[in-house]
Structure formats: structure tokens, C-alpha cells
Amino acid sequence: QVQLVESGGGLVQVGGSLRLSCAVSGGTFSNYVMGWFRQTPGKERAFVSSISWTGGSILYLDSVKGRFTISRDNAKNTVYLRMNSLKPEDTAVYYCAAHVGDNYPFTSGYDYWGQGTQVTVSS
């Protein structure tokens, strides 16, 4: 059974930084495309960033380009999302997810999901 556990969320002021981590167990991490998504109350879960199993293909939501950096460590079965210059509109529950296949900027098609970690950016 594949399990994903996010950590690193919290409360930060505008302009601050956080690094989210997502540890994967129970599967072959190096086979997975890994994605980060976020959701706010009353809205659908939205794509933020994703990275292919080699790390050679990386995608970002336009509004986070230049501020967020996704990376992965296949030896540690962990994917990261470094978030800099945070804005109030980045406030959301952040989820990581995994699937086997192509890297694409959509929510659908991901097979495994974590429980989410709250990120709150105060102004």
C-alpha cells in the first residue's frame, strides 16, 4: 500500500518561505511522477507543480513560477516544494500525489494522495 505523508506546513508572514516535504512509502518512488496541489475552502483542488521520475521534466502553475521550486530525492523517497516570497493567495491546504506515467499539469490521473498540510500566509 502506497502512503504519502506531507510535512512542513505552517503559518508564515507575507514574503516568507516554507519547505514542504512529502515522504512516500510502500511503492517504488523512483517510478512515480510526483505532484503538488493545493485547495482552499469551496474551491477545487488545483495543480501547483510536478516533477517526472528522473527530475528532467518539471512543471509549474504560472502564478508560482520563479517563487516555488520542486525537487525530489529518490534515495530518500521524498519530494519537496520550496516556497519563497509567499503571498496571502498561496494560503491553502497543500497535497502531494503520485502516479506512474507522463508528467502533466492536471489533477486527474494521480493514483495516490497524501492527507495534506496547511499553509497560511498572513499579511
pLDDT digits (tens, 9 = 90+) for 34-77: 999 999 999 999 999 999 999 999 999 999 999 999 999 999 99
Q: Tell me the C-alpha to C-alpha distance, in Å, between residue 12 and each of 69, 90, 112.
A: 17, 11, 28
How high is the mean pLDDT of the chain? Answer: 96
**In terms of Cα–Cα distance, which of 25, 48, 65 is closest to 117?**
48
Q: What average pLDDT does this structure show over 90-102?
A: 96
Residue with cell 530525492: 73
